[in-house]
Amino acid sequence: MQQVIRWWQPTSFYPGSIFWCFKPRHPDCCSKMSMKSWVWKSVIAGFAGTVVHFSFMYAKSRLGVLPSFQPYPAFQATLSRWVGTDVPAIVPWLLSFLNGMTILGFLFARLQRLLPGQRGASKGLAFGVIGWLFMGLIFFPVIGLGPFALGAGLGVAPATLSLGMVLTYSIVLGTVYAALDHRNRIATKHAGRACLGAGEKAQSQ
């Protein structure tokens, strides 16, 4: 038994890898996965949240909800002032898409263990509230709408709408990430058992 344990004992462990890489002496026991799991999980979860976010914005436009509150054109105008030339209307949307799929997804992946709640949805809710505060206190003033978009002259309606907009993204982000993380843990567990089983079989031969 001690020989089996020594045979199976990991020589290197890569935190966050899709599978635990044990580097066993049997070369075909389990393969090393180079991509860290938190990266692909955050990208997929961020993509899912971003798709829902854009669906929310599309529904806002189609239903005519707060038609005078247009943060993306305001962001476009700010970018145009910064670069000194006209920025195409698609640019703010692309930046928002990339930000939601990568930067915010990565940030959630690194912070999710510190967020309150036991489930992905509750962690996403907490992450969304934090993001909404940053949006209201930093982003909206930068694009000329004032804190929580009160400068738009529409009262608290833009802040309320933006909260719903952010939460649709963050709750989906947290839910999908938690589901992927659960599946990854199961795969890791099975991979470890497969390595141990292969080691015991090799020792018995």
> Model confidence over 190-205: pLDDT tens digits?
555 555 555 555 555 5
Distance CA 179, CA 44 (A): 11
Q: How many domains does the chain have?
A: 2
In this structure, the answer to whether residues 57 and 25 fall within a common structural domain is no
In this structure, the answer to whether residues 19 and 76 fall within a common structural domain is no
Kindly tell me if the per-residue pLDDT of 2 is higher than 50. Answer: no
In this structure, the answer to whether residues 180 and 146 fall within a common structural domain is yes
Kindly tell me if the per-residue pLDDT of 63 is higher than 50. Answer: yes
In this structure, the answer to whether residues 89 and 173 fall within a common structural domain is yes
In this structure, the answer to whether residues 62 and 143 fall within a common structural domain is yes
Kindly tell me if the per-residue pLDDT of 134 is higher than 80. Answer: yes
Determine the average pLDDT of the residues in 146-166.
94
In this structure, the answer to whether residues 135 and 51 fall within a common structural domain is yes
24 falls in which pLDDT band (50, 70, 90)?
very low
DSSP string, 35-76: SBHHHHHHHHHHHHHHHHHHHHHHHHHHHTSSTT--HHHHHH
> What pLDDT sits at residue 32?
45
The parent domain of residue 25 ranges over 2-33+192-204
> What pLDDT sits at residue 5?
38
The model carries a pTM of 0.75
In this structure, the answer to whether residues 164 and 115 fall within a common structural domain is yes
In this structure, the answer to whether residues 147 and 76 fall within a common structural domain is yes
184 falls in which pLDDT band (50, 70, 90)?
confident
Q: Which of 87, 123, 90 shows the shortest CA–CA distance to 107?
A: 123
Counting residues of the chain whose pLDDT is more than 90, the rounded percentage is 64
In this structure, the answer to whether residues 196 and 150 fall within a common structural domain is no
In this structure, the answer to whether residues 94 and 146 fall within a common structural domain is yes
